[in-house]
Amino acid sequence: MTVPARIWTVVRSLLIPAALLGTWELLSRGGAAATYAFVPLRQVATAARTALSNGELIGNLIASAEHACLGLVAGGLAGLLLGACLGASRICDRILGPLFHGLRQVPLLGLAPLIGLSFGNGAGAKLLVIALAAFYPVALATAGGVRNVERAHLELGRALTLDRRQVFRHILLPAAAPAIASGFLQALAFAWLATIGSELLFTASAGLGSFMQQAEANGRMEMVIVGITAIALVGLAMNGLVIRAVHWLLPWHAVEQK
Amino acid sequence: MSLTHSTAIGARTELRATAPDGVRAARGFAPGVERSLGWLAPLALLTLWVATTRHASDGTAHVMVSPREVLDAARELAGSGELAAHVRASMGRLAVGFAVGASLGLAYGLVAGAFPAIRSLFGSTFHAIRQVPSIAFIPMLVLMFGVEETFKIVIVAKSTFFPVALATADGVRGVPRSFLDVARAYRVRGLNLLRYILLPATVPPIVTGLRIALGRSWMVLVAAEILAAESGLGQMMERGRQMLRLDVVLVGVLFTGVAGLALEEGMRLVERRLQRWRRA
């Protein structure tokens, strides 16, 4: 691509955001009621600067990222375990599969009142929701990856008289790794959604969801917008990190960047 | 030829004999028995539930209720018409929001799929907004529209729009060039092109997008109802929680789950019908 063409590409992708921001700013000048819903951009910028400089934003952001990572690891490992069982053993799939697919249909955040009642409204409940969110996609992807392993590879393994551990380590795991990787990528998006959701639904503590909930209660639209922007940026950053990690762990497998 | 064939089969049977225990055991069952294995785990859970709640006292009613109490609560809620009203409220919001979001998503997806210029113009904005969890927009929408119906319909429409738009755009872009070339060679144009080439090629991925969108919107709607609503299954559960009525909460969980399952399976049915030709 030539340089002017590249500049044109950048300009073109910025046209719509610029138009949207312009419309927003125009709407914000339509009287007191409009200023409440469409806060002027200058006010948003000031709010962002304040929240950044007093450490409020960064603190909540780190807390949320911590919740998400913890839930992703806990739920992901559990999902890996169940998925491997479902994929490798047909009897396991027959017994646990229907229950797993049935429970999967219950909207996750709809479980919040139940979890709140049974496990309290605190950190444990949040972690459980986030872990569950990460659990389903990883289990599903792992089961699929293990199930779709090449028959010929398994037969080779048996011909070489590998024991079950060796079959798992040298055949099943490498074959299922790409599916597991995309499962984790999907799980990350769900875990992030569940993090924000659980912070909104459960008792306030540190976290971007609680930060926005408080801003909403105080009628501070500009702080809500700062929160949404931060959530978007953290989501993007985590997605990029996981894609990079997958490239590093599975260099032969190109993750579809969606 | 036939010799090598039979040796291959022989080798395979031998390998099968050394297959992991689970696989071999499952092969021994009759198909009917194998299918009924799926009831084992839910039955075991139910038995466990009954056993642990048999001697529960009143003091633990908010953490432990028996299946019978949940059934009684369901009967009571259904009898008073309360349950039906909540289901109707939730489904009404879902239907309106889904219809709005899906139509906009279809329209955008068709245009963006057909015209690269539109894609490069709106693409970055589209993907930037798409990757923000819908639920994060709830506080903003509440401030904009209040806690009434509008905000719930907008959030459902938002969570429907993006998967549908994405699936539609991908579907339109994915029409194989060779199909269009064949159509041109046979001078298939206009309505016939739409009827015999474009619709069959694009509808299946769009229906898949609609199914995914429906599942997500349902979850987001329930969450929105838990946060702020006068009615709906989410609100019923949230009020149950506040009054420490675990039985009511469980009835809610059951019904949101069944509703989610019904929506999903319904869409899958449509999907399978539209893809009948693939199996042939």
Residue pLDDT, tens place only, B103-153 = 999 999 999 988 888 888 888 888 888 889 899 999 999 988 888 899 999
Q: Which amino acid is at A80?
A: L
CA A199 to chain centre: 14
Q: What angle do CA A193, B93, A128 make, to 5 degrees?
A: 25
DSSP B201-250: HHHHHHHHHHHHHHHHHHHHHHHHHHHS-SSSHHHHHHHHHHTT-HHHHH
Both B46 and B86 in one domain: the answer is no
User: Which tokens in the block code for residue B262?
Assistant: 């019904």
In angstroms, the CA B138 to CA A54 distance is 25
Both B30 and B146 in one domain: the answer is no
Mutate to test the interface with B, among A193, A213, A220 (most CBs of B within 10 A): A193
The DSSP element (H or E) to which B18 belongs, if any, is none
CATH of the domain at B271: 1.10.3720.10
Kindly tell me the burial class for residue A235, based on how many C-beta atoms sit within 10 Å of its own C-beta (0-12, 13-18, 19 or more): buried
Give the mean pLDDT of chain A: 86
Is residue A208 a contact partner of residue A230, using CB atoms and an 8 Å limit? Answer: yes
Model pLDDT for residues A90-102, shown as the tens digit of each residue: 888 888 888 888 8
Both B139 and B236 in one domain: the answer is yes
Decide if B38 and A98 are in contact by the 8 Å CB cutoff. yes
Tell whether B239 is covered by a domain: yes
CA A192 to chain centre: 3
Q: Which amino acid is at B170?
A: D
- Chain A contacts of B121, Cβ < 8 Å? 12-13, 15-16
Weakly modelled stretches of chain B, pLDDT under 50: 1-26, 280
Both B98 and B169 in one domain: the answer is yes
pTM of the model: 0.83
- Chain B contacts of A103, Cβ < 8 Å? 257
Tell whether B57 is covered by a domain: no
Both B17 and B85 in one domain: the answer is no
Decide if B234 and A110 are in contact by the 8 Å CB cutoff. yes
Tell whether B62 is covered by a domain: no
Q: How far is CA A257 from CA A104, A186, A193, A239, A243, in A?
A: 25, 11, 19, 9, 8
Q: What angle do CA A153, A156, A158 make, to 5 degrees?
A: 115
Both B199 and B93 in one domain: the answer is yes
Tell whether B179 is covered by a domain: yes
Both B122 and B207 in one domain: the answer is yes
pLDDT at position B23: 45
Is residue A157 a contact partner of residue A170, using CB atoms and an 8 Å limit? Answer: yes
- Chain B contacts of A231, Cβ < 8 Å? 132-133, 136
Both B127 and B240 in one domain: the answer is yes
Tell whether B232 is covered by a domain: yes
Q: Residues 203..222 of A with a Cβ closer than 8 Å to B: which?
A: 209, 212-213, 215-216, 219, 221
Domains with residue ranges and CATH for chain A: 55-249 (1.10.3720.10)
Q: Residue B113 is part of which domain span?
A: 69-279
Is residue A144 a contact partner of residue A86, using CB atoms and an 8 Å limit? Answer: no
Tell whether B12 is covered by a domain: yes
Both B230 and B118 in one domain: the answer is yes
Distance from CA of A30 to the nearest CA of B (A): 14
- Chain B contacts of A92, Cβ < 8 Å? 22
Report helix, strand or coil for B161: helix
Is residue B108 a contact partner of residue A168, using CB atoms and an 8 Å limit? Answer: no
Q: Could you tell me the sign of the dihedral formed by the alpha carbons of A232, A235, A237, A239, in that order?
A: negative
- Round to the nearest angstrom and report the end-to-end CA distance of chain A: 23
Is residue B259 a contact partner of residue B215, using CB atoms and an 8 Å limit? Answer: no
Decide if B123 and A13 are in contact by the 8 Å CB cutoff. yes
Kindly tell me the burial class for residue A34, based on how many C-beta atoms sit within 10 Å of its own C-beta (0-12, 13-18, 19 or more): middle
pLDDT at position B279: 55
In angstroms, the CA A237 to CA B58 distance is 49
pLDDT at position B63: 67
Kindly tell me the burial class for residue A227, based on how many C-beta atoms sit within 10 Å of its own C-beta (0-12, 13-18, 19 or more): buried
Is residue A138 a contact partner of residue A83, using CB atoms and an 8 Å limit? Answer: yes
The count of domains in chain B is 2
Both B16 and B83 in one domain: the answer is no
pLDDT at position B29: 63
Hey, is the C-beta of A29 within 8 angstroms of any chain B C-beta? no
Tell whether B55 is covered by a domain: no
Both B85 and B169 in one domain: the answer is yes
Both B37 and B74 in one domain: the answer is no
In angstroms, the CA B237 to CA A39 distance is 34
Tell whether B64 is covered by a domain: no
Q: What are phi and psi of B18, to 5 degrees?
A: -100, 15
In angstroms, the CA A187 to CA A141 distance is 10
Model pLDDT for residues A62-80, shown as the tens digit of each residue: 999 999 999 999 999 999 9
